[in-house]
Amino acid sequence: MDTAKRYRGGMILIEALLILGGLVFLVPFYFLIVNSLKSFGEILTDSAGWPNVFQWGNYAEAWKKTSFPKAFGNSLLVTVASNLLLVLMCSMAAYRMARKPTRYNRFLYAAFVAAMVIPFQAIMIPLVKVSSLLGIMNSIWGLVICYLGFGAPLTVFMLHGFVKSVPLDIEEAGRVDGCTAYGTFFRIILPLMQPIAVTVIILNTLWIWNDYLMPSLILQKPELFTIPIETFAFFGQYTKQWNLALPALVLGITPVVIFFLAMQKYIIEGIAQGSVKG
């Protein structure tokens, strides 16, 4: 009885401390949102309090000056296109490599695994040169191509591990029923891959959506800017003009926060899964 009581008391303490910690974690968001609705003068005189008058105009101006719909559209296009193509292309490659371990395929797989340790900064300088030779500079699709190349190693690696765990019997049953190699892949293997594909898509989405460096090197025309580069350019122009910079930041983080809150079950499962595989 006594120990049970102590145990409960301990739990309440832990819970209270965690909630306190959680509030501390959220303080930056409080400052960000509250101040994004203040006038410039008010931010300087009182940045902790609630706004006297809500300055919704800040948002209208930031929305216009960052051409938010355009940046959002670019980010969305790049993220969705890269994700779909990466998963399709890499699941095909992973399937073939896992099922037909010829000398060539084993070499290629080893190269993919080895390339996972290459940091982007180690190849970014020559990549600029290669991209301009390929004529993919200043193009959204060019950026997608870069993500396909740089994302392929990890994506293939994760999918490859999954294919190996799929029993061969399932495929052979399909073969006997007259499936071609393509039919086997698209009708049998690809549907089975769904859980790992979700994990891969989530990891790649968090990476591609938030990536700054790659698009900043490939895209120089403002009309092609994604959210991170647009924000960077905007912030450079309006440094210390917090009444414009803060609403721009709120706009910038809103899509990904909504995505997270809507998908958090999958995201959290996906990360736990992905780490086991990695």
* Residues between 48 and 77 with contacts to another protein, criterion CB under 8 A: 48
- Select from 1, 2, 4, 126 the one that contacts another protein (CB under 8 A): 126
- Select from 41, 129, 178, 221 the one that contacts another protein (CB under 8 A): 129
Q: How many residues does the chain have?
A: 278
Cβ contact 71:225 at 8 Å: yes
- Select from 70, 80, 241, 260 the one that contacts another protein (CB under 8 A): 260
Q: Is 225 in the site for another protein (CB under 8 A)?
A: no
DSSP state letters, 228-274? HHHHHHHHHHSTT-HHHHHHHHHHHHHHHHHHHHHHHHHHHHHHHHH
Smallest gap from residue 130 Cβ to another protein (A) = 5
Write the single-letter amino acid at 134: L
Q: Is 96 in the site for another protein (CB under 8 A)?
A: yes
Q: Is 31 in the site for another protein (CB under 8 A)?
A: yes
Q: Is 261 in the site for another protein (CB under 8 A)?
A: yes
Number of residues that bind another protein (CB under 8 A): 89
Q: Is 14 in the site for another protein (CB under 8 A)?
A: yes
180, two tokens: 């071609």
33, two tokens: 């949102």
Distance CA 43, CA 48 (A): 8
| Residue spans of alpha helices (H) in 37-67 | 40-45, 56-65
- Select from 59, 68, 72, 112 the one that contacts another protein (CB under 8 A): 112
Q: Is 168 in the site for another protein (CB under 8 A)?
A: no
Distance CA 183, CA 174 (A): 9
Q: Is 41 in the site for another protein (CB under 8 A)?
A: no
**Cβ count within 10 A of residue 62:** 23
- Select from 87, 153, 193, 198 the one that contacts another protein (CB under 8 A): 153
Nearer to another protein, 92 or 192 (CB): 92
The site string for another protein over 180-219 (x = CB under 8 A, - otherwise) reads -xx--x--------------------x--xxxxx---x--
Cβ contact 211:48 at 8 Å: no
